[in-house]
Amino acid sequence: MRLTATQIESYRREGVLHVQGALTDADLQPVIDELTAVVDDRARALQAEGELADIHEEAPFERRIGLLYAQSGKITHGVDIMRYRGAAIFAFLSNNNLLDVLEGLLGPEITCNPIQHVRAKPPDRFEATTGPSFHMAPWHQDAAVMMPEAEGSDVITCWLPLGDATAQMGCMEVMPGAVGGGYLRHQKEGGTTIVAELMPATEPRIMACHKGDLVLMSRFTPHRSRPNISDRCRWSLDLRYQPTGQHTGRTGHPDFVVRSQDPQLADVDYDTWCRRWIDAFENPRGGGGHRSV
């Protein structure tokens, strides 16, 4: 799928675009299967440690991690892209259907920004059993998790659910059209959130999505997550892409070229990607992190 001129103009104007049906089940299933195995391995390890009484082997993907989380918040530890470093998620970062959409906004030279996450947002009712929640993201801009040197970089957030993400399941809310002011000062209190007096007076839009949809956002688009009042976990990927050569906002973490007119530039393989992340954690250098100025 390629973006139309109307979609591109809408993104430029509003700083957000909901692209429906961009991805297929065949695109997403390898990632779901890989995460299913990761959760199962975590569950069995925690059961052996006495943390879990029931590992709910028969529960479906969208319910199991919530049932496990209700027993121990440790189930989500390490369940993130750069931590478990799976082959399926690495392959997905270069997914052609995804890059075809992004090329309309970024051009043909595309780099995968190192700020990339998989999010498992369990039902809110399970939070009371595991302590304070970190699954409710407050109003913020993604520019707030990048170095100031990336202020001029055209980093696009690509948010996509691995199943349906309804309003009841804790989908995102965004403020369309609130990008003209650039970066808004954030505070650390409340979890890296826009300072109250700087919040735009913009009507939020609920970004309910179906499996296969994409939400593309500017780094300056204010957004937050909604409560998950359902009985299912909201699984999603939170990825970022940018034109090759621009500052990533995270010099301490590895980026890599995913599409180029020069095939030699897009040549990072899975083993190299893993080694770079391991090195980044074992030998910290460079900059990055959340801003509060």
Report pLDDT digits (tens) over 146-187: 999 998 999 999 999 999 999 999 999 999 999 988 999 999
Residue 130: predicted pLDDT: 47
| 205 assigned to some structural domain | yes
Amino acid occupying residue 37: A
Task: Say if CB 92 and CB 19 are below 8 A apart.
Answer: no
DSSP label at 285?
A: -
| 60 assigned to some structural domain | no
| 70 assigned to some structural domain | no
Q: Where are the strands (E) in 168-265, listed by range?
A: 172-174, 186-187, 193-194, 205-207, 214-218, 223-225, 234-243, 256-259
Q: What percent of the chain has pLDDT over 70?
A: 97
Structure tokens at 293: 């100025």
Annotate 18-47 with three-state secondary structure. Answer: EECCCCCHHHHHHHHHHHHHHHHHHHHHHH
| 145 assigned to some structural domain | yes
Residue 128: predicted pLDDT: 56
**Distance between CA atoms of 21 and 96, rounded to whole angstroms?**
14
Task: Say if CB 259 and CB 266 are below 8 A apart.
Answer: yes
| 109 assigned to some structural domain | yes
SS3 117: strand
DSSP label at 226?
A: P
Structure tokens at 16: 């957000």
| 58 assigned to some structural domain | no
SS3 98: helix
Amino acid occupying residue 67: L
Write the CB contacts of 210 (distance below 8 Å, at least 6 apart in sequence): 20, 21, 161, 164, 165
Residue 93: predicted pLDDT: 98
Whole-number Cα distances in Å, 290 to 141, 148, 175, 194: 11, 10, 21, 12
Residue 293: predicted pLDDT: 67
What pLDDT, in 10s, does the model give residues 117-154? 999 999 998 875 544 456 788 999 999 999 999 989 99
CB-neighbour burial class of residue 131 (10 A; exposed 0-12, middle 13-18, buried 19+): exposed
168, 171, 175, 180 alpha-carbon torsion, rounded to 10°: 180
Does the pLDDT at position 190 exceed 90? no
Range of the domain at 132: 10-24+95-282
DSSP label at 196?
A: G
| 68 assigned to some structural domain | no
How do strand 234-243 and strand 156-161 relate by DSSP bridges? antiparallel
Instruction: Work out the average pLDDT over 111-121.
Output: 96
Structure tokens at 210: 């179906």
**Distance between CA atoms of 53 and 254, rounded to whole angstroms?**
38
Domain of 19: which CATH number?
Answer: 2.60.120.620
Q: What is the pTM of this model?
A: 0.94
Number of domains comprising the chain: 1
| 149 assigned to some structural domain | yes
